[in-house]
Amino acid sequence: MPKRIIVLSGRVSAGKSTLADGLSKQFQAHVLKTKDVIEGTAKGGIASERGAMQDYGELLDRKTGGDWVAKALTREMESLSADAVVVVDAVRIVRQVRAIRRAYGSRVVHIHLNAALPILEDRYRRKQRQKDFQEFESYSDVLSNKTERGVDRLAQTADVLIDTERCTREDVVVRAAARLGLYGREHRQLVDVLVGGSYGSEGKGHIASYLAPEYDILLRVGGPNAGHKVYEDPPYIHHLLPSGTRRCNAALIIAPGAVLTVPQFYKKLTNAR
């Protein structure tokens, strides 16, 4: 199974395909284009135009509850190596992202791209010059589609947000690759301790969960806490297990002397991953 699955979302002309192409060229990422999945599913029975693609994608969403992208991803990965990086270009609704997360867990990183409307409109005018794909006459026609108007909601569940109007194409790739750890880094054996400097609710759980994929061991001490609520998808409250348990494959350690509510501990352990 590939080590990383990068899911891209954002409005038309936000820069999704540009980022996917950049990751492919620089890091040999394998790109799965949902446009190609739609064409393959339709078996030649769909026009090469944006309106037809939007309508057919919504039809697949209604039929599968948004699972069709995850299923296509599973088929695609059967022929890929275990160290492959896969980019999904792109998802349009939250249910598509959730289906991929259910299937692949902490391997999934969701990147949402955005830009101001005038920037998107200007980019779209240039996109209209393509000859092999029929675009709408204006960007307002793009937004006449209900699903397309709601794409910005995916930013609420994304792991990374990138404003592409403030970056060059190369900068967007650099920002994404740095967040994904694709450049590599020095690895030394370290023990990092997270301490709150106030009276609780400083965000320790969020930070631990965010950093968890970089560690081999997650450890917690003390007694049951009031609840570290981590805004994953869906949000999850950690009472006894280390925050980040659900975002990585690290070993979990409850330190000697920790206070446990045993029935609750086993219940949380069963539902942790």
Residues of the chain with pLDDT under 70: 1, 131, 184-189, 223-227, 232-233, 272-273
Give the pTM: 0.72
Report pLDDT digits (tens) over 86-108: 999 999 999 999 999 999 988 89
> What is the distance between the alpha carbons of residues 198 and 237, in angstroms, rounded to a whole number?
20
Q: How far apart are CA 76 and CA 73, in angstroms?
A: 5
pLDDT of residue 93: 96
Give whole-number Cα distances, 88 to 21, 69, 238, in Å: 11, 9, 30
**Per-residue pLDDT at 256:** 85
- What pLDDT, in 10s, does the model give residues 172-192? 999 999 888 887 655 566 777
Q: What pLDDT score was predicted for residue 128?
A: 76
For residue 105, which amino acid is it? G
* Contact in structure between 155 and 58 (CB atoms under 8 Å): no
Which pLDDT belongs to residue 143? 93
Q: How far apart are CA 260 and CA 254, in angstroms?
A: 9
**pLDDT at residue 158, as a whole number:** 95
Question: Can you give the pLDDT at residue 232?
Answer: 67
